């Protein structure tokens, strides 16, 4: 259903089952997959790729040029995966020469007024609550939940299965499986409820807690804690994911509440 009151560039590639409501603008070099619905007054600009069965609510702007003074008009993309919902007035900028694309994965929910800046990479099954704002080149891994009004500094990395408290200011990397909040943002325990909902066993959750006891409650610095974890705790998929994240964190991970 291509609404006659919408503007659709003749070069846009739109699947036959896409629903387009009135007053939508779709620019050239846009691809939209089967079953997606585009609400009224949505603007989809050059370089956007939207997957199947997405829902874009009224007022969203996807693919605007980056708010980065280094951007010189490069041919870049904004990519949205399948089954993702983008609520009212969300803004998603396309990439720059840094990465060439901004990506939002499959099965995500971006609530009203969220902003995703240039070159952000958002994984699958991520929830961003109302008015959360991401700076450029932020990475959010699968199954993370970002509560309302969170500000994420550019280049920050938020690990998988993380829960961020509403109103937080994220200026360090947040390692996987944890809850984070307070001011300044700090480690606040394991996201055990979220992990159970996703099928993690009590034993897996206890193993994750043991790792974070070394990192946050032992009094050791991060390097020493990593050495002890490798020497004293069994190798598991979760242990290796946490250690890889911490080692590869150029910004450093968030601190513990009592540090």
- Which residues are CB-neighbours of 244 under 8 A, at least 6 positions away? none
Q: Residue 73 in contact with residue 91, Cβ under 8 Å?
A: no
Catalytic residue among 33, 123, 136, 159: 136
Look up 224 and say whether it is catalytic.
no
Look up 115 and say whether it is catalytic.
no
Q: Residue 152 in contact with residue 133, Cβ under 8 Å?
A: yes
At 131 the three-state DSSP class reads coil
Burial of 127 (0-12, 13-18, 19+ CB in 10 A): middle
Q: How do strand 186-190 and strand 178-181 relate by DSSP bridges?
A: antiparallel
**Residue 32 is encoded by which pair of tokens?**
């939209």
Catalytic residue among 95, 105, 115, 119: 119
Look up 119 and say whether it is catalytic.
yes
Catalytic residue among 115, 118, 157, 161: 118
In this structure, the number of other CB atoms found within 10 A of the CB of residue 49 comes to 19
Q: Residue 44 in contact with residue 25, Cβ under 8 Å?
A: yes
Q: Which amino acids are annotated catalytic?
A: 118-119, 136
């Amino acid at each position: 259903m291509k609404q006659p009151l919408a503007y659709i560039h003749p070069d846009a590639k739109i699947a036959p089952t896409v629903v387009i409501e009135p007053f939508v603008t779709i620019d050239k070099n846009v691809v939209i997959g089967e079953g997606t619905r585009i609400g009224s007054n949505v603007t989809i600009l050059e370089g956007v790729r939207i997957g199947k069965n997405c829902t874009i609510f009224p007022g969203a702007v996807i693919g605007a040029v980056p708010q980065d003074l280094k951007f010189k008009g490069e041919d870049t993309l904004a990519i949205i995966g399948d089954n993702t919902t983008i609520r009212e007035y969300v803004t998603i900028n396309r990439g720059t020469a840094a990465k060439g694309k901004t990506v939002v994965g499959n099965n995500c929910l971006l609530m009203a007024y969220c902003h995703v800046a240039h070159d952000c990479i958002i994984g699958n099954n991520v929830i961003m609550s109302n008015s959360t704002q991401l700076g450029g080149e932020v990475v959010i891994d699968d199954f993370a939940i970002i509560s309302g009004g969170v500000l994420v500094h550019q280049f920050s990395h938020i690990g998988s299965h993380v829960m961020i408290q509403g109103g937080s200011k994220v200026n360090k990397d947040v390692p996987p499986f944890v809850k984070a909040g307070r001011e300044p943002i700090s480690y606040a325990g394991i996201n055990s409820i979220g992990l159970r909902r996703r099928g993690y066993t009590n034993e897996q959750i206890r193993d994750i807690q043991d790792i974070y006891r070394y990192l946050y409650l032992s009094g050791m610095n991060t390097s020493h804690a990593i050495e002890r974890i490798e020497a004293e705790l069994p190798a598991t998929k979760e242990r290796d994911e946490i250690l890889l994240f911490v080692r590869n964190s150029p910004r450093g991970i968030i601190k513990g509440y009592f540090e």
